[in-house]
Structure 1
Amino acid sequence: MILTETEIMLYVIEMLLNAFGFFVSFLFLYVLWQTKLFLRNHKFYLSNVVIANIVTIVFRYPQLIQLLSEKKLYSDETNARIVQVHDMADSVAVNMIVQLIIFGDVTAVVMGKDEMSLLWVILLCCLSWVLGELNIQLGAMNIPPPLYSQALMECVNIICWIAFFGLIYMGKVKYRQQTVGDIKHKYRISICLRTLAVLKVMAICSAIRNFICINVIISLFVWIRPNKDVDGERFVSFFYDLTLAFYAAIVPFLMIWSHDEMQKTYGRLCANKFESPITKVSVTTTNNEVKFIAKNVVGDVITANPQDEAKHHFQQLQNNWNTRRLSVQHVPQKSQRNITWSKGDSLH
C-alpha cells in the first residue's frame, strides 16, 4: 500500500508523540515511587495504568515502522502477536477495570478499613490484564455482539467518571467528621485525598480517551464498514491511534502537576526550585504586607482573617481578665483578731 504525504506526516507525528510519551511515562514512574505522601496501593494501581501505556507504545512502533516502509517486515504470526499485545494494552476494558479496582480500594480506606496486602494488590493488577485479554478473545467470537459490548463499556465509562467525584466528596466529608478518634485513620484519609487529586486527573483523561475510542469503534461497525468506506476507516484509525498517543504523552505530566509532593520530587530531579508546600497557601499583598492564608487538605481555611483574628485576640484578653477578677473575688480574707480592752488591763 502506497502512502500519501498526509498519511506519512500523521504516522511521523504519532511516532514522535509516542517517543515523548515513552519518556514521560518512565519519568512519571520514577517521580511516583520517589514521592512519600502517597498510599502504596495507589502507587501500584497508577503504575499499572502507565505500564499499559508503555506496552502500547512499544508494540505500536513495529507496526509504524512496517507501515512507513510500505512492505511486510514480519511474518503473519508475528504481526498477529504484535497486534494482540498492543490491543490488550490499550484496551478500554483494562483501563476501566483498573479504575473500578481503585474505587474499591479508596472506598475501603475512607471507610476506615486497613489497606490490602501487597500480594492482593499485585494479583488485582494482574487480574486486570487477564480480564482485558478475556474481553478481546470474547470480542473476537462476537460474545457479546460488538455494539452491545461497546454500549456496555460506554455506560461503565460514565459510571467511572461520576464515581471518582463521589469518592472525592465522600473523602472530604469523612475528613471533616474525623475531628476526634483514631489519628491514624484521619492521616490515611488525608493522604488518600491527596492521592485522589492525581486519580481525578487520570479518571477525567481516561474517561475522555475511552469515550473517543469507544465511539470510534461504534462508528466503525455502524457506518464505516457497512458502507465499505476505506477512507473513513483510515481516518478513524488515525484518530484512534493519535488519541492514544496524546493520552500517553500528556497525562503523566498532568498527574505530576496535580500533586504537591510529586511537583517537589520532579523539581529536585530537574534541579529547579518549586515552592509548593504541603498545605495550600494563597498570598495576598496589601500595604506592602504579605499575609498567608493556610488551608488544610480539603481546602478549609485554618487561619483566621485579620478582622476575625483581632476580634478573637480582644475576646481572649477579656476572658483572661474576667477569669483573673473572679479568682481574686473568691479568695477568703484573713480572719482578723478582735481585741477588747478593759480599764484594768495593762499591756505587757
Structure 2
Amino acid sequence: MESVFKYIFALIVGAMFILFFVGFARNYIIRADTVDANVLVSGFDDYLMLLSGSTDSTVKYDFGAETAIQFSRGELKSGTNAKRPTNRIVFAPNQLKGKKLIIWTKRWSFPYPIDNFFYMTNEKYKQLIISDDDTAGFVSEFVDEINDTFAIDPPKKKDLLTAQNLATMASAYRQYSNVRFLAIVKSPLPANTVSNIKRAVTNADVVSVIIEKDEESGNNEWKDYGTIKFEDREMPFIGREMILGAMFTESPDEYRFNFNRAMQRLMDITDIYQKKAEIMSPLDQTKGCQYGLFSQSLAGYKSKADEIAGDETISRDTIALLAQQAKGMDENDMENFGGECPAVFSK
C-alpha cells in the first residue's frame, strides 16, 4: 500500500514540475514576444526619424520576419501590448502585415517647409489613379512624381470604367487586400459609377479628389488646395502631398488626424518665423525693412491655421483664404527681403 502512495505522490510532484515549467516557458515566450515587439516599434520609429532628414526619399524596409504593424492616431503598434507614440505624420493602411513594406517620405511646404509626410504600403495593396478629360495633364504629372517602387499603373480615364473594363480589373487585381481607386477630377464621380466599381471590384474602395483651375489669377494653373471626398465625408487637402495621403490612408478619420497634425506643425513653424521677424524688427527703423508688418501677417496666418485645425466642417472658402495668405507671404518674402533686410523664410 505504501508503494502505491509513493507512486501517486511521485506522479503529483511530477505533474506539478511539468505545469511549472510549461507555465514558465509560456510566460517567457509572451515576455520575449513583448520585448521583441517593443524593440521593433521603437526601432521603426527611430528609423522614420532618420528618414525625416530627406526631402524626398523612398526605401524598402525589411523586418526580417512576418510582422504586423498598425498606425493609429499618432501611435505605432505591434502585437497586443507594444505601442509607441510617434510624432511622424504617417499615411498608411490601418495595419500592414508582411516581411517588407515600402516607405516614402516627402516634405510638405506651405509656403515654407513644414514637416515630412510618410506614405507606407506593401505588395498587398494597390493604388489606381483615375482622371477626366480636364485633369489628364495634372494626373500625368502627379503620377510621374511617384517613385517606380510603388508600381503604379498608367492612369485611366473615368469614361473607360465600363462594365467590361471593370471586369478585367477585377480579375487582374483580385490578389490584393485592397484596391484604392483615386479619382482626380473636376467634379466627384457619380454615385452609380462608384457603385459599379465596388460591385465589379469587390476589394476596392473609391476616393475622389476635386481640383480646380486658378482662373481668378489668370495663370490657368491648378490650385494647390481642394476637396477630398471619401465615401462618407469630405475633407480638404493642401498641396499634392495631401493628395498622396488620401491615396495611401485607409480611413478618413486617420486622414483627418494627420491633417490636423499638419496644421499644428504649420502653426509651430510659423511661430518660429514670427519670433524671428520680431527679433529683426529693429531693422525697420535703421534699414527701412518691414519685419513688423510681416510679423503681423504671420500671426494672422497662424491664427487661421489654428481655426482650421479645430473645425470639423472646414469650408472651401476658409482653406482658400489660408492659401491666399500663404501665397501673399511667400511673394512678400521674395519681393521685400534680401540684402540689408535678410529673408525671413528658410527654403
Q: Which has the higher contact order (CA 8 A, sep 6+)?
A: 1
Structure in which a larger fraction of residues adopt strand: 2
Q: Give the TM-score taking structure 2 as reference length.
A: 0.26
- Larger Cα Rg: Structure 1 or Structure 2? 1
Structure in which a larger fraction of residues adopt helix: 1
Q: Give the TM-score taking structure 1 as reference length.
A: 0.26
